[in-house]
Amino acid sequence: MIRITYVTITYNAASVLARTLDSILEQDYPKITHLIIDGASTDGTLAMVEDYIKRSNAAGNGHRIQLSSEPDKGIYDAMNKGLRSIDGTYVCFLNAGDFLPTPDTASQIVKAVAKSQTSNLKSQLSTLPAVLYGDTDIVDREGRFLRHRRLSPPEGLTWRSFRQGMLVCHQAFYARTDFAIDNNYDTRYRYSADVDWCIRIMKAAEKEGVPMLNLHMVVANYLEDGQTTLHHRQSLWERYRVMERHYGRIQTFLLHCWFAVRALIFSLRKLIH
């Protein structure tokens, strides 16, 4: 049976963490592991997590919860700690403040995988999709819907798809654990190691001939003012470097010229209308 591991990185996140924890607590799918990797919080985060563990145990939902709290060297160092502790079939990194849209999100994901497997009579465990991916909605700090994410996943995702931007949000990217464990986050990047990580996993999947599955559903609600938004300029520069690394200098430069033109056209259309 498919087990999903959710990893949540926290540091003094008490103001936004409750809905993240509640959204996993409410999942009706029993085979869930939730790893909370905390950076030695000094606010109410740890007390909130301890209460969450008690509520989950009382609910008898079958979920496994593991808390680790110690200083780290940044969010991607913490994510690498999470990778060293994951189990099961797939892993998804769900940040503090982000949450699963409905109580049956995980079970619907598993059903989609099962459906994809039964369509191939020769399917075995080793041929489970390397990546499951879906859509994302943007929410405010109160968890209220703001809009659908502008970039949407393509029907057929490949590592080359990210030349057009990060078409799949990190929180909507479920990596098969064997691929995830083999690809640590590159901590040389402070804000965009998630982009690099996703690309490297998709490259590995293509090399091994393992497919990826579009879930055709919203699988994550994403907090608008996350770290990437708060450090927008630095994040854009890092993403440019990531793209140069994977797609080459000339192609990356030409693509960004097109991005600038596209943004200008979009702005002009808004002014006209």
Distance CA 64, CA 169 (A): 25
DSSP 87: -
CA dihedral 177, 182, 188, 191 (to 10 degrees): -20
pLDDT at 258: 67
- SS3 call for 91: strand
pLDDT at 44: 93
**Full DSSP string of 100-129:** -SSTTHHHHHHHHHHHHHHTSTT--GGGS-
- Find out whether 187 and 73 touch, Cβ atoms under 8 Å: yes
Distance CA 75, CA 44 (A): 19
- SS3 call for 153: coil
Cβ neighbours of 226 (radius 10 Å): 18
**Full DSSP string of 11-40:** SS-HHHHHHHHHHHHT---S-EEEEEEE--
Distance CA 178, CA 5 (A): 12
Distance CA 245, CA 218 (A): 30
Mean per-residue pLDDT of the chain = 90
Window from 114-118, 123-127, 255-259 with minimum mean pLDDT = 123-127
Window from 74-78, 156-160, 216-220, 229-233 with minimum mean pLDDT = 229-233
Is the pLDDT higher at 176 or at 272? Answer: 176
pLDDT at 259: 64
Window from 129-133, 197-201, 260-264 with minimum mean pLDDT = 260-264
Kindly state the average pLDDT of the residues 237-248: 90
Tell whether the model's pLDDT for residue 30 goes beyond 50.
Answer: yes
Place of tokens 């905390």: 38
Tell whether the model's pLDDT for residue 141 goes beyond 90.
Answer: no
Backbone angles phi, psi at 149, to 5 degrees: -60, 135
Distance CA 65, CA 57 (A): 9
DSSP 52: H
206 forms beta bridges with none
Among residues 157, 113, 175, 105, which one has the least CA distance to residue 136? 105
Tell whether the model's pLDDT for residue 94 goes beyond 50.
Answer: yes
Kindly state the average pLDDT of the residues 138-151: 86
Distance CA 206, CA 107 (A): 27
Is the pLDDT higher at 227 or at 80? Answer: 80
Tell whether the model's pLDDT for residue 144 goes beyond 90.
Answer: no
CA distance from start to end of the chain: 52
Among residues 32, 24, 27, which one has the least CA distance to residue 63? 32
